[in-house]
Every structure is written in structure tokens, then in C-alpha cells.
Structure 1
Amino acid sequence: MSVVAPRMAVIKPSPSMAVTATAARLKAEGVDVISLGAGEPDFPTPDHVVEAAVEAMRRGETRYTAVNGTPALKEAVIRKFRRENELEFEPKEIIVSAGAKQIIYNAMMASLAPGDEVIVPAPYWVSYTDIVLLGEGTPVVVQCDESTGFKLSPESLRKALSSRTKWLFLNSPSNPTGAIYSRDELAALGAVLERFPAVHILTDDIYEHIRFDGRPFHTIAQACPFLKPRVLTINGVSKAYAMTGWRIGYAAGPRELIKAMGTVQGQSTTNACSISQAAAAAALDGPQDFLAERTKAFELRRDRVLSELAGIDGLRCETPEGAFYVYPSCRGLLGKIRPNGRTLDTDDDVALFLLEEARVAVVQGSAYGGSPHFRMSIATSMNNLIEATQRIGEATAGLR
């Protein structure tokens, strides 16, 4: 009898992490690979945040904290939601975890029962559906293609809703597409959800500060205040503040749900790192001016990559509105034959081809439920991006 639980048969390792690990292994073997797989800013954590962590250690803040987060960080989170999102919360409506992913996991473990359905617009972040499956829920994937700007429409939402729907997931700006929901678009979704009072909404706003072309940001509890009692608003410091390794995510939501999520966390990891919590409070309360500078750098990279991709036969790419990815369609490459005689039948084949022939690591669109595409992270230097797109162009020119 296997020691591995049957539930492991329905989930898979993170494809983006797998690509990053493969690229690292090839580099260690001396292969010149440009990795565009990881969703991790290439900027340093701001100095004042690092100093806040050092000072916390010197003050002896190296012990257990309250499971749901320190009072100082909870207050900083409350101020952030008030200042940036026009939302008011109390400390008992806030939870702090070891990353936004843990918050999603806690929420699904605390709320799902077998048979509950979770609507997940695709393309989606790779972990959404697997976390739902771990919670014994049923992902209901709704395809959102270029015709809708990769966004869920009210009509598609209405068709997907049923008496078994427990949650709707939203992610704006989106990983992997960079799509951003406007206030009007959120209001239109809210009008549908108003008629389904048993449905809760999980909104993943982790890329909130990385928006291009001057686009504003709205979260659904802000755009639809009547939904606030059933919205879990998730955010964190990983992307905006270049703090991926610090592992701090936070969320605000209904008190009953937050309490249950804290119980799950209390029987798994307990509190997030005390030092990281002090650093996160400094990030949220400290200077924010550097965010615009870093976002502009991402925007310039986006524009250059789009320009380079436009000259490659077989690829077509919508303009991302935020986050730090581009998500080109590779439909025009399918059916073509590699120099080794293999046919490119899927975007998985395309990703493998680009790794082996162009020495560029990307993540296949099937990992995000959105084929035929692949995701390229632009969280690397402009030189790397120019070299990578040139390699892709040269490799695809050799297809027949």
C-alpha cells in the first residue's frame, strides 16, 4: 500500500517553479539559458524595509506572534486598505500568512465541502485549481480569450453559476495575461453576483501596484460595496516591494471566515515569520514613490518585448495592462516541424522547443488553462529580454 494519499493524484507540482528549476539546472551544467519563467521582481527589497527587519531583530522580535499576524502589521494593512482602496476593516477581519498562496489555501480548507464549485476564469494562476482540488472542491473553469481581453464577462459568469457555486476567483492585474478589470467591469460582474447571495468572491490583488499606461486600479469590494460582506480581498508585499522570499501575504474579509482561516493556519504553520512581519509593516507604511519608477521600467520592457514579438512569424500578443508578463499566442506555430523532425502540436511542444532550440525558458499556456499560448516574465534585464526574443525569432525561423 502506498504511503501517498489519493488526493495527490489530482494535483501537480507548480509548472512555473518546474521551469525555473530546469533552467537553473541547465545553467549549472553550463548551458546558456535565459529563464523567463519565474514571477519574481529583479529589483532589490527597498533599504528601509531591510533596515526595519534588522531593527526588529535587535529589539528581540524573534519569537512567536499571534497566529493571524502582529497587531502592528494588521494596523498597517488596515491603513493600506483605507488609503488605497477606500475600504474599512477591523483587526479581526485581517489575517497575515506566509504568502498570498497560503491565504488562498487557508480559505479553501476553511470553507469548501465536497461538491462545492469554484468558478475560475482562465487563463488563471497555476495554483488556483489545484488548491481547490486539495480542498475537495470542484473547479469550474471558464475560458476567457482575447475577444474579451482575457476577462470574465457577465454573460459567462451567469452561465457558470449554479446552486453549488461557493466561490468566484478574480485576479487583477492578472497572472499570466496582465488583464485589469475596470470599475465598470467589476460593477457589471457585481450586478450578476447580487442575485446569488450564497456565492463568495476571492480577489487576488497581488499585482495591484504594477499597472501600465496610467490605468487606475479598483478591487471588487470597492466597486461593489454591497458585496463586501462576502469578499476576501487578498494582497501581499511580494511583487510590489520585491519581497518574494520574505513570505508575507495578507487578506481582509468576513470575520467568521478569517477566524476559520486562522484555525487552519494555527494547525499548520502558525504565524508568519516575525521579522518578515515587521519588514512588511515598514513596506506598507513607508515611502511608496519608488513603485512608479519600477513600474515604468516594467512598462518599457513590456513595450520592447511586444515590439520584438511583433516581428516573429507565428506569434501574436495582446498588450498586457499590468503585472510583469507577456502572454503571446503561438497558434501560428502549431503544425510546424522542428529541425529534428518533431511536429509542434501543442504549446507544451512550443515551450520545449524554445528551451531546447532557443535556450529560452518560458511556461506553456496549458499550465494556466489557456492554450495555445506561453508566458514570458519580463522581470529581468532589458538586455536579457532583447536577447531572448532574438533567440526565439531565430529558432522559429528554422521551422518548416
Structure 2
Amino acid sequence: MTNAVSSTQRKIIHIDMDCFYAAVEMRDNPQYRDIALAIGGHSERRGVLSTCNYKAREFGIRSAMPSFKAKALCPDLLIIPGRMQVYVEVSKKIKEIFFRYTDLVEPLSLDEAFLDVTECTLFKGSATYIAQDIRRAIFEELNLTASAGIAPCKFLAKIASDENKPNGQCVIPPDKVAEFVKTLALKKIPGVGKVAQQKLALKGLFSCGDVQLYDSEKLLLEFGKLGGALLNFSRGIDNRMVEPNRERKSLAVERTFEKDLLDESACLLHLDAFYDELNRRLQKVLKEKVITKVGVKVKFGDFTVKSAERKSAELSLSLFKILLHHLLEQTPDKTIRLLGISVGLEKRVSDNQSAVQLSLLD
């Protein structure tokens, strides 16, 4: 049995934040860090938990559990109301980090997303190192942890991101897909709920290996659309594409170095590669977007961050060099931990639209 060609060629990352709402609260309120904490309605009002931290999970508490039941499991559990606007703002910052690596980002919720990094040339195209760097950036910039799954397709990447939680990652390379799915429990496949699990169990189907041995026509007849999905998933096949659903307002390429760069000349050695990567990604959006500004960002060895921007309608390596020189000239004695370049984007106005706007101005 072989996988579909497209599923073996793609590099998909699934990023899943660790107990996101609770993690934000623990970050912002140090007194919550060492106690069992949950976000949700108060037990006396028969509320439901939206999430809880890992300390609470040690007591068997989980998301979507009634508050009164969670309190019964852990009387000392602290249940606090959520701050949705804060979580939304943090989620936006997380997505901004994702877009430094690829334009193909498909958010699933505030705290998880798929990324297709097949064409990303950072870290020599290694999806494993790209995922590590994304998680590092989230931790350094937002003081939150994330877990990642890396695989040739979406459903395997999502399953993999749960394998080494919290604050870990799991890689399923193409040549290990067949081995991985053979023992994969069907209950781990997204979309296979408790009712479906019970029906599958009645047919002796508990793993992808069981599905591989089951009569295909019989599976389709008995389980319809779910049966068709399981036929593919049990062989590691998932041809669904990562579908972005956000308008791009900027593009950026940046990197944190394992060892700090010492001076401007060392930065210039990396700038050409950054420029080529940014230009490559930019070509995909220029039919709908125009460049409005360019910028350079530097994080120094002491973790201070400085950036400089200029209005510009075109990509210019020389302008990036000028901006970089301007930033480093101000702090000549500091080492460079991170270097990044970016462009601001606006929606392209058609000729007809321009004519209408001019007539209105006249």
C-alpha cells in the first residue's frame, strides 16, 4: 500500500497552544501558576469549563466539564471567568509569528492552526527546525508554550501535536507514515467521536490496522462518508490543503541565531538569503497587493528590540541595508540575537477603482 504522492511531498505543521486560556492567565497572574486553575462559569451557577491548566488535569478535570463536577474532583480548584478580548489579542500575535514562515496558515481556533511550510527555505527547508523555531519565538516573545506536530498531511500533523504535550513536538516523516498509522487508534483521528467509536467497535474496528484489513466496500456501505475518510486515513492519505482565510497586511522573514552575531558585516551575510526568501513569498501576493513600506527588525543580545521602517513601493535590498546600518549604528557595541526584514502590504486598487476615486475627489 502506498500513500498519495501529494501527501508525501507536503510538509505540514500543526501548532497547538498548551492550555491556552489558562496559560495566559498564569502568565499574567503569577499567583495562579502553582495551583489548579480553570477558566469557565462558577460551579454555583452550573457553568462549564472552557479549559484548565495541567495541575487541574492531574485531578481528572478537563475542558467542557461541568463546574460542579470539577469542584467535586478538586475542591481547591480555582475557577475564574475568561478574558476573551485578551485571548483574541494574544492569538493575533501568535498568528503574526506564523506568517513569518509561510503564507499558508489555516487557523482552526484561537489556539491552534495548520501551516504548510513545503516551500519555506528557512533552516534549509527542515519542517522540524521550522516548528522548533516557531515554538521558540512564541515562548520568547509571548512567554507561552506550544506543542507541534509535523507530518506530510493535516490529520497526522494534528495527531502528532498531541503526542508530546505540553511544550513538545512529534515528527512523522513520510517513510514512517505506514508504520505509524498501522497501530493508530481510530479514536485519535479527528472527527471520530464517541458514537462513531462505539459503532466501529461493534465491527471489531479499533485501529487503522483493523480498517486496512476490513472489506472496503462493506466499510463504505456501513459507514458512508466516515468509512471513505477512514479508508484514506488508515493508509496515511489526506489530500486536504491548508486553506488560509486571512487578508495579509505584511510579510516578514526573520531568524533567531544559535550564536549572537557580532557586527553589521555578519548580519549582511544573512541579509541576501532573507531578501531572496521574502521576494519569493512576495511574488505570490503581488497580483492582489502592493508594497507600501519596508522594515528591518533587530533583537540584541540583551533582548532589547529595535526596528526601522521606510515608505516604499518596491522591494529594495539596498534600502534594507541602509535601515540595518541605521539601527546598528545607534548601538555599535551590542551583539545581534535576531534579524528580520519585512514589507507592509495594501490591497491593489484596479484602474477602474482609481478612476472612480479620482472622480470623487474632483
Tell whether the structures are fold-level matches, with TM greater than 0.5: no
Query: TM-score, normalising length from structure 1?
Result: 0.24
Query: TM-score, normalising length from structure 2?
Result: 0.26
- Asked which structure has the greater CA Rg, the reply is 2
